[in-house]
């Protein structure tokens, strides 16, 4: 089945999304920082079971092809993304759907699942965190300067955004997410985790250099009945690097 691209107006912005498959189970893929469906979910859009699933990958406002507006990071940017994501799926006429969230998209998915329990069927998150520690802030500052990124990671984003927007948005992201460290316990959405009632699957790469494993364990501990899978060789992008294993585990969970 082909992958279609389109835009739809949601909450005053034109959100870009890709869609494939004709299954009865709708799934929304939520990308990470600076991410888009195209850069973050190639193997999922291409290979997830198109008979079982209708797969939608969105570009959050200010990312990918959902520009304008330019991306900004007000204190509630995760909440805003969660509302945009859910409203996008409703605008596309999906009554109930599952969320697959990576990194920032995982945080967004946690918030959406807690806030809209009647709409979310199942939840999968990987590389996500519910709080920001001082150690996390140190890690984020380590990726602030995009000129130090590996060519492989940098190139698709520079092609998508141009160097200036890419570099400035990354710096703004580091400032935006680091602000959560000033909250009590560095809280982003810890208080919402007990409100997540849908079946939840947390995946974590044991070699993730960006998100320490304690974050995955915290989320697992505070979402009742959730399942945690640790991938010994997995890094932050385990769904790209080990796409076949990842897709198989996730499809089995979603069935």
Residue with tokens 């850069």: 39
Sign of torsion, CA 144 147 148 153? positive
The rounded distance, in Å, linking the Cα atoms of 163 and 182 is 30
Distance from C-alpha of 201 to C-alpha of 70, rounded to nearest angstrom: 32
Sheet holding 53-59, edge to edge: 4-10, 13-20, 53-59, 25-30, 97-102, 120-126, 200-205, 227-231
**Is residue 168, in this structure, part of any structural domain at all?**
no
pTM attached to this predicted model: 0.98
Cα–Cα separations (whole angstroms), residue 255 to 54, 56, 151, 209: 13, 17, 37, 31
Q: Residue 213 falls within a domain, yes or no?
A: yes
Report, as residue numbers or ranges, the catalytic residues.
103, 208, 236
| pLDDT given at position 214 | 98
The confidence score (pLDDT) of residue 27 equals 98
pLDDT tens per residue across span 136-181:
999 999 999 999 999 999 999 999 999 999 999 999 999 999 999 9
45-78 in b/e burial notation, b at 16+ Cβ within 10 A? beebebebbbbbbbbbbbbbbbbeeebebeeebb
What is the CA 159 to chain-centroid distance, rounded? 21
Is 12 inside a domain boundary? yes
Rounded to the nearest integer, the mean pLDDT of the chain is 98
In tens, the pLDDT along 190-212 reads 999 999 999 999 999 999 999 99
Supply 39's token pair: 């850069």
Residue 146 domain-assigned? no
pLDDT cut 90: percent of the chain above it: 99
Residue 189, pLDDT above cutoff 80: yes
Per the structure, the complete domain to which residue 104 belongs is given by: 3-132+187-254
226: nearest Cα among 144, 140, 89, 128: 128
- On whether residue 235 sits in a domain, the answer given is yes
Q: Supply the DSSP symbol for 131.
A: B
Give the whole-angstrom CA distance, residue 166 versus residue 155. Answer: 11
Show the tokens assigned to 46. Answer: 């291409």
Total domains in the fold of the chain: 1
Residue 38 pLDDT greater than 80, yes or no: yes
Query: Would 78 be classed as within a structural domain?
Result: yes
What stretches of the chain adopt beta strand conformation (E)? 4-10, 13-20, 25-30, 53-59, 97-102, 120-126, 200-205, 227-231
CATH of the domain at 8: 3.40.50.1820
The CA distance from 235 to 127, in Å, is 9
Residue 234 counted as domain residue? yes
End-to-end CA distance of the chain: 20
Beta bridge partners of 200: 123
Q: Is residue 166 one of the residues assigned to a domain? A: no
């Amino acid at each position: 089945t082909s992958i279609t691209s389109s835009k739809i107006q949601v909450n005053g912005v034109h959100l870009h999304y890709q869609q494939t498959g004709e299954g009865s189970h709708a799934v929304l893929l939520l990308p990470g920082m600076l991410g888009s469906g195209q850069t973050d979910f190639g193997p999922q859009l291409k290979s997830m079971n198109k008979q079982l699933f209708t797969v939608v990958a969105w570009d959050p406002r200010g990312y990918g092809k959902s520009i304008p507006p330019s991306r900004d990071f007000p204190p509630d940017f995760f909440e805003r993304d969660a509302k945009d994501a859910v409203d996008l799926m409703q605008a596309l006429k999906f009554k109930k759907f599952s969320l697959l969230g990576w990194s920032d998209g995982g945080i967004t998915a946690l918030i959406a699942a807690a806030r809209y329990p009647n709409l979310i069927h199942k939840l999968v998150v990987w590389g996500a965190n519910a709080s920001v520690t001082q150690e996390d802030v140190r890690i984020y500052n380590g990726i602030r300067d995009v000129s130090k990124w590996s060519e492989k990671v940098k190139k698709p984003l520079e092609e998508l955004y141009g160097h200036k927007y890419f570099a400035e948005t990354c710096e703004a992201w580091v400032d935006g997410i680091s602000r959560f460290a000033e909250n009590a316990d560095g809280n982003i959405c810890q208080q919402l985790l007990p409100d997540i009632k849908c079946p939840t699957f947390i995946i974590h790469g044991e070699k993730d250099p960006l998100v320490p494993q304690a974050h995955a364990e915290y989320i697992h501990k505070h979402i009742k009945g959730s399942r945690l899978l640790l991938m010994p060789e997995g890094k932050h992008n385990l769904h790209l690097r080990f796409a076949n294993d990842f897709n198989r585990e996730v499809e089995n969970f979603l069935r």
